Amino acid sequence: MTESDELKVRSCVRRDLDAIEAMLAAEPEPDAAELHQIRRWYGLVKGLSFFPNPFQHLFSSYVAERGDRLCGMIQVSPFNKTYSTWRIDRLLLKGITDEAGKMALPTDVGSQLIRHCLQHIWEARTWMMEVEVGDDMLLGLSRQNGFQPLANLTYWAIAPDSLQQLAEKEPNLPNLLPVSNADSGLLHQLDTFSMPPTVRQVFDRHITDFRRSPIAQMGQGLKHWMDRTEVVQGYVFQPQRKAAIGYFKLNLCRDGSRPHAAELTVHPEYTWLYPEILSQMARAVQVYPDQMLCLTSADYQTEREEYLSKLGATPTERTLLLSRSVWHKVRESRMESLQWQEMLQGLQPSQTPIPSRFSIDQWGRQLFYTQTSRSAIRRMPPQTRFRKTSLYQRPHPPTDDTSHPSKA
């Protein structure tokens, strides 16, 4: 195999957009709207990727090519603002046969793309990937590269008729407040309590993830203006505990071209808020054209899934959220080959110990002298009083002049 036939991974450039669009068209559910926006604003997006800014990783993509033919593309993005967790947003694979008749399997191409991201994006400590439950190829590819199941996600769609029935009910939310950057600490606390520790550790969210800078707000406003969408969000405040117990965010489509999208977070101890918050969201939807409301639910939020099933919501998609840590560990084979004498060299004696005599009388007198205060020694009779010495000198008992051999 020549060098031109080897599989190479590099960053995506403008000339690759046509091949990527062709691979998107071959997908079962093609969605090229985002690619059209990237093609339109490619120069600006590429310029923003050269220096730190909120839109630096708007289109972080890598392609795999063999010769001059594209056989795969991967798109990644940071999941939090500290860049400790990254997410694989899209993975497009295509098998290609070279001149020698050897075919590059999609799984080999996918493994090469995933490994390239794991090795070259040094900020990432944890990676996430969402795969459809019925996609056996991507499930096998993710497990082959060390991804483990984290949670099951279900995408629900609430019909306009159900939304109309929910809007007729008056929601009981006396402490519903608008969201601002000052509430980022409350929202972070709510997000922490609403998920199990394993998911919380992978997400690794901080207060800064719930706070938006003025530049980010301007960018989001421009994006909503171009997409003809509007954002409505709020949270429920609990005065006694001084904490947020519920939060929702609505992405409403003003022209009716796409379904409405919603995010919902409820404290596990206040599950009675599900019908109240959904009634509030249903009232906000009534102002816009009739469309379905899409909502995501995880398997660790069983009360939400039960309520959506009773409401008559339709599950449109079921996916599996996978995660992988890239913290390098010591190989077990190396640990097994180590001998205890090599590991505990500092605890071995440097020479053979030599036995010596030990005087209990001297040890007892020294211990008695160091633990007894000077005032107690002065109150002793002269016959039993020791000679005053420094604490750093060994005390000796007083000797009688008649007992000295030179004065005998």
Q: Taking a C-beta distance cutoff of 8 angstroms, is the pair 151, 199 a contact?
A: yes
343 pLDDT more than 70: no
Q: How confident is the model at residue 99 (pLDDT cuts 50, 70, 90)?
A: low
- Residue 202 CB-half CA count within 13 A: 19
Per residue in 53-63, pLDDT (tens digit) is 777 888 889 99
Per-residue pLDDT averaged across 260-283, rounded?
93
How much is the pLDDT for 265?
Answer: 94
How much is the pLDDT for 4?
Answer: 53
Q: Which residue has the higher pLDDT, 234 or 66?
A: 234
Q: How far apart are CA 369 and CA 391, in angstroms?
A: 9
Average pLDDT, the chain: 80
Q: How far apart are CA 129 and CA 148, in angstroms?
A: 10
Per residue in 247-267, pLDDT (tens digit) is 999 999 988 888 999 999 999
How much is the pLDDT for 341?
Answer: 52
Per residue in 195-244, pLDDT (tens digit) is 999 999 999 999 999 998 888 888 888 888 888 889 999 999 999 989 99
Q: How confident is the model at residue 328 (pLDDT cuts 50, 70, 90)?
A: low
Domain spanning 3-124, CATH class = alpha beta
How much is the pLDDT for 129?
Answer: 95
The residues, ordered by sequence, that sit 6+ positions from 14 with a Cβ below 8 Å of its Cβ are 42, 46
Cα torsion angle, 164, 168, 173, 174, sign: positive
| Alpha-helix residue ranges (DSSP H) falling in 290-398 | 302-311, 332-337, 340-343, 360-371, 374-378
80 pLDDT more than 80: yes
How much is the pLDDT for 233?
Answer: 93
Per residue in 357-390, pLDDT (tens digit) is 555 555 555 555 555 555 555 565 655 554 544 4
Q: Which residue has the higher pLDDT, 369 or 287?
A: 287
How much is the pLDDT for 248?
Answer: 95
Per-residue pLDDT averaged across 38-65, rounded?
81
How much is the pLDDT for 379?
Answer: 60
How much is the pLDDT for 126?
Answer: 94
Per residue in 303-317, pLDDT (tens digit) is 899 999 999 899 999
Phi and psi at 100, nearest 5°, equal: -80, 0
133 pLDDT more than 70: yes
184 pLDDT more than 50: yes
Looking at the chain, the domain(s) classified CATH 3.40.630.30 span 3-124, 153-325
Q: Which amino acid, one-letter code, is at 30? A: P
Q: Is domain 153-325 given the CATH code 3.40.630.30 in the classification?
A: yes
